[in-house]
């Protein structure tokens, strides 16, 4: 008796639209890097796998969400894919190329062209009403005073139990213990994403007493 033939393996190829979107995003990313290279630590846009890990804890029925450093929109798309309504999301981006691209892609999302250190003065929501801050900022590129200012301003907005989500290309927290201690925060590794260039680690920053 002949053995039963194995079923043919089906491979789902990306659609032409996916290739077009990826090409557009990479071109836009490169233009943004040329305009403000010191504000862009990555060499390519974040992968959808990293984006998925960054937004894993978002509850569409909970509080507002703030994204810092929207870039070309990889995390913005992932945030909206959780079911969070566009009117509950704000994205801060000071690079004019990236900001313009975000406004074009996400017309219903508020794009804030203001620095992260003082973003709480420009958001629509009130202090304590944000469930999550998703950060695409190059935290390692900032000095300790700037890191502290960004975190303290973000935690003014976060509700009790709220989390600041940050990725880095190292296995270590991009914010050191002295800054964390001064801000009363702890950093906990939440996941390692190998399918990203380079591979990345996601950290959750929370208030120490929580």
Residue 1 pLDDT greater than 80, yes or no: no
Q: What pLDDT, on the 0 to 100 scale, is given for residue 120?
A: 98
Of 30-44, 58-72, 168-182, 194-208, the poorest mean pLDDT is in 30-44
State the Cα–Cα distance between residues 170 and 13, nearest whole angstrom.
Answer: 32
Residue 118 pLDDT greater than 50, yes or no: yes
State the Cα–Cα distance between residues 136 and 42, nearest whole angstrom.
Answer: 10
Of 4-8, 84-88, 189-193, 201-205, the poorest mean pLDDT is in 4-8
Question: CA of 25: how far to CAs of 30, 143, 146, 157, in Å?
Answer: 9, 29, 28, 30
CB 76 within 8 A of CB 21: no
Residue 13 pLDDT greater than 50, yes or no: no
Question: Of the candidates 135, 139, 208, which has an alpha carbon nearest to the alpha carbon of residue 174?
Answer: 139
State the Cα–Cα distance between residues 118 and 122, nearest whole angstrom.
Answer: 8
Average pLDDT of the segment spanning 159-173: 96
Sequence-distant (6+) residues with CB within 8 A of 42 are 29, 71, 138
Joined tokens for residue 103: 């406004």
pTM score: 0.81
Say which DSSP state 141 is in: G
Q: What pLDDT, on the 0 to 100 scale, is given for residue 3?
A: 47
Sequence-distant (6+) residues with CB within 8 A of 210 are 160, 161
Question: CA of 76: how far to CAs of 71, 136, 177, in Å?
Answer: 9, 10, 29
Q: Give the position of tokens 């202090």.
A: 127
Question: Of the candidates 88, 127, 96, which has an alpha carbon nearest to the alpha carbon of residue 114?
Answer: 96
Domain 16-207 belongs in CATH node 3.40.50.150: yes
How many other CB atoms are there within 10 angstroms of residue 110's CB atom? 17
């Amino acid at each position: 008796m002949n053995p039963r033939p194995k079923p043919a393996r089906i491979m789902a190829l990306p659609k032409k639209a996916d290739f077009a979107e990826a090409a557009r995003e990479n071109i836009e990313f490169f233009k943004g890097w040329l305009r403000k290279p010191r504000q862009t630590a990555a060499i390519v846009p974040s992968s959808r796998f990293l984006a998925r890990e960054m937004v894993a804890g978002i509850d569409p029925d909970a509080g507002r969400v703030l994204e810092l450093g929207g870039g070309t929109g990889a995390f913005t798309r992932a945030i909206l894919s959780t079911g969070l309504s566009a009117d509950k999301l704000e994205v801060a981006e000071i690079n004019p190329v990236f900001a313009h691209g975000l406004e074009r892609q996400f017309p219903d999302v508020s794009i804030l062209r203001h620095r992260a250190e003082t973003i709480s003065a420009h958001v629509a929501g009130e202090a304590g009403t944000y469930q999550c801050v998703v950060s695409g900022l190059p935290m390692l590129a900032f000095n300790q005073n700037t890191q502290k200012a960004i975190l303290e301003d973000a935690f003014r907005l976060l509700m009790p139990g709220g989390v600041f989500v940050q990725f880095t290309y190292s296995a270590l927290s991009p914010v050191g213990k002295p800054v964390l201690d001064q801000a009363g925060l702890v950093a906990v590794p939440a996941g390692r994403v190998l399918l990203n260039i380079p591979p990345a680690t996601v950290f959750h920053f929370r208030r120490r007493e929580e």
